[in-house]
Amino acid sequence: MRVGKVRLLALVALFVLLPVFAIEGNAPTMQELFSRWDLKGIVALLESGTAISPMDQSLAANALWRADRFEEALALLRSSSKSWPDEVRPYGEFMMVLALERLNRGQEARTMAGALVGRVPADLVYYVHYSLYRLSDEKDHENRRKHLQGMYKAAQNDSQRTTALTELLKLPGDKAVYALRLTDILPRSSAALKVLESLPKPWNPDVNMAVGYAAYLSGNYDKAIPLFRAIPMDSRHGRKSKYYRAFSLYNQKKYAPALEAWAYLAKTGESFAESSLKRISILAGRAERESALRVLREVASSREGDIQARAYYSLSTHLSGKERLSAEDSVIKLAPGSLFTTQILWGRGWDRWNSGDVAGAVAEWEKSLAPNMSQNWRPRVIYWIAKGYERLGKVDKQRPLIEALKTDHPLSIYAFLAGGKLEPVPGDPPGLVSEAGLLEQWGFVTHARRVLLAKGDPKSAYRAALLADWSGDQQAAYLAALKVGDQIRKGPVFYARGLSMLYPRPFAKEVAKAAERFEVEDSLVWAIMRQESAFNPAATSWAGAGGLMQLMPGTARSEAKALGMKSHSVYDAEQNITLGTAHIARLMRSYKDVWLALAAYNAGPGNANKWLGDRKSVPLDEWIEGVRFEETNDYVQKVTANLEVYRALYPDSRSPDEGDGVD
């Protein structure tokens, strides 16, 4: 895999981000050198004897800082500090604190950091407390606890909260509250669970919930069930504990008690009612059919609003003939613009399509095109209406639908199936471009990113993404770019730098190594990773899948065993990528097609084989629509769309002998 294009984009980006002043002769300015992180050139300019401005000194200081040359950086920060604007000063002074800390001048650093408390912007408070925690006497537990609590109070995201709580757990004293807060963020935190499980019994509902949920996620249902059962229904965890107790029983194939618990939640209250109806519907297809259908009927006749509509919808999926039509009509009447109605009309149209009634299918699908229709469904329905008109020979009606699909939903898989092509142009979306702020101009890029994100407006978010991308933090760039994702994806012109941040290639070395080892297209690995975890190595799903490629524990164990790995962690980025790539490679060898392999990756080979059955000759676009697991259907659509965007953005990374794409 070659990554030169991404690096080129990053280098070009900063020429936009930082102001470039006039050049005398051919000598590059400090701003240009900084934009390229040209440390050798910066040092040469500093040593040349050429007079440089305080702003240039500050830029050089930040570049030297990046190279761990803290003594020189500190000297330049001090020299330029007299000229810092008020907006820049607290950030520059904090950088001086960090330089002193790294130079083991702890007392000076503590004094300077202490002077910053109470007079820095909100986004710096966490970091000032963190520095004071690190600089404090390890035996002064109360002072360290004070600063960690200050960190937690000032934290602006879960990553910061996790750091504060993890450190608090290392201090002596009562740690139960911190452990509970940490399990809210990281349900399987071993440090937090160790604290909670050491508490004297009987445990309170909060502890039972935290330990029970961790056991559930780990597949230890024998441990989870009694812990959930001990939680009173009138506690704040009552309904949640009942839901996951039912799930644990279900996974143990104890279907009757699972149904009883889900039925209670479906018939009463709001939280977990719709989720329970969904589980009851799944249960009806596997066991306890009559009892499950009876519950669905009771809920449909006794509840109101969305819950009633969900009950009728779930019921309809198990009925036939007039009973099914009656239940479906009830949904359409109760929730005419809902996803349930869309799915019903879609199903009716698909039944007509499969029976050869193309005109009838088109008529049903056209009914579903409500103004508030889900954007996940609209391109799908438009594609099949257009395909219906094509079969009916009504090209005059097909053509505008295809054009609308390419124009309004250009990055959906259906636009690609319809012949749409993605041809990114260099640069940034014009409506999102903005000028460099003072923090950028003085070189404090990391702080500038944080301030820009806090502002929240589209231009600031996009600029923060550019700065993160230029700094090499692709996950941060992705998360910032997501805030303006609709503008970046809007079209009709697509700008490469914006798209490259929405479709990044993080963990490049690990992906390249695994892709080469298992002979998998590297773009496919990123396409899966983007959908599965949004590039977050710590991601955990409600079902217990973990890491970048969201591997279930059993899948990870199986692949690790096959690879001869004595131990593994799905939260280790390299190991997760290795195991996930090995798994998708195995599925590609089995199914010979990316669509089928992705269906198996999401729902398991057993389900994929069942869906494939005797339909091997069915065109792939029709085959995937026949998959009645909506989650899997949606998953395959999104990952294949991701794949097409990656291929268009990074043509250099595609393996020349890799499997089928969209023709």
Question: In whole angstroms, what is the distance from residue 18 CA to residue 220 CA?
Answer: 54
* 466 in Cβ contact with 13 (< 8 Å): yes
Annotate 159-215 with DSSP letters as a single string: HHHHHHHHHHTTSSS--HHHHHHHHHH-TT-HHHHHHHHTSPSSPPHHHHHHHHHHH
CA 420 vs. chain centroid, Å, equals 26
Distance of CA 396 to the CA centre of its chain: 41
What token pair was written down for 660?
A: 């089928």
Q: Three-class SS of residue 546? A: strand
Please state the length of the chain. Answer: 663
Query: Do 624 and 611 contact (CB within 8 A), yes or no?
Result: no
- Distance, in Å, from the CA atom of 549 to the CA atom of 579, rounded to the nearest integer, reads 9
Half-sphere exposure of 25 (CA within 13 A, CB side): 1
What does the block give as tokens for 574? Answer: 């390299």
Token pair belonging to 605: 């080979």
Any long-range contacts for 224-230 (C-beta under 8 Å, 24+ apart)?
224/248, 225/249, 227/203, 230/202, 230/203, 230/205
Q: Distance between CA 107 and CA 100 in Å, rounded?
A: 9
- Cα(605)–Cα(609) distance, rounded to whole angstroms? 6
Answer yes or no: 532 catalytic.
Answer: yes
Q: Given 532, 559, 625, 658, which residue is catalytic?
A: 532
Residue showing tokens 């297809």: 285
SS3 495: strand
Whole-angstrom Cα Rg for the chain: 29
Question: Annotated active-site positions, please?
Answer: 532
